[in-house]
């Protein structure tokens, strides 16, 4: 099965066939792997829209919001797939971001963050 190269922008939740001037991560995968990545980006966009409408509620803490937790979980999964399909440069970039460890360990050990 042949692999194809695409460019991912997590911030704009896009998958492009050509690199642009914006931040993009290069990935290589089969048609099925890249379709899965595309669906994950669409799902993250929907998660983002849900959290966007909940953010302005002044008395609602985002730290214990199920919508925010879902967004973070999906973002973690997305970065893991990008890492798995990524070129060496993409993997190095994600490694340098330390995003996978940060999303798994929120490091909330302060009063008020108890579950």
- Residue 112 falls within a domain, yes or no? no
> Is the four-CA dihedral 99, 100, 101, 106 of positive or negative sign?
positive
- Residue 78 falls within a domain, yes or no? yes
- Residue 113 falls within a domain, yes or no? no
- Residue 92 falls within a domain, yes or no? yes
pLDDT in tens, the chain (115 residues): 799 999 999 988 999 999 887 778 999 999 999 999 999 999 998 877 776 665 555 555 555 567 677 778 888 899 999 999 999 999 999 988 888 775 455 555 545 545 4
- Residue 109 falls within a domain, yes or no? no
pTM score, whole prediction: 0.76
Total number of domains constituting the chain: 1
Boundaries of domain holding 86 = 4-104
- Residue 97 falls within a domain, yes or no? yes
- Residue 51 falls within a domain, yes or no? yes
């Amino acid at each position: 099965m042949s692999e194809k190269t695409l460019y991912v922008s997590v911030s704009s939740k896009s998958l492009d066939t050509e690199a642009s001037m914006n931040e993009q991560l290069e990935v290589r995968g089969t048609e099925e792997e890249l379709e899965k990545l595309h669906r994950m980006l669409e799902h993250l966009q929907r998660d983002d829209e849900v959290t966007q409408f909940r953010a302005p509620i002044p008395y609602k803490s985002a730290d214990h919001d199920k919508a925010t937790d879902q967004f973070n979980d999906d973002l973690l999964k997305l970065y893991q797939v990008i890492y798995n399909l990524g070129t060496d440069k993409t993997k190095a970039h994600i490694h340098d971001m330390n995003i996978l460890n940060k999303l798994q360990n929120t490091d909330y050990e302060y009063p008020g963050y108890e579950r």
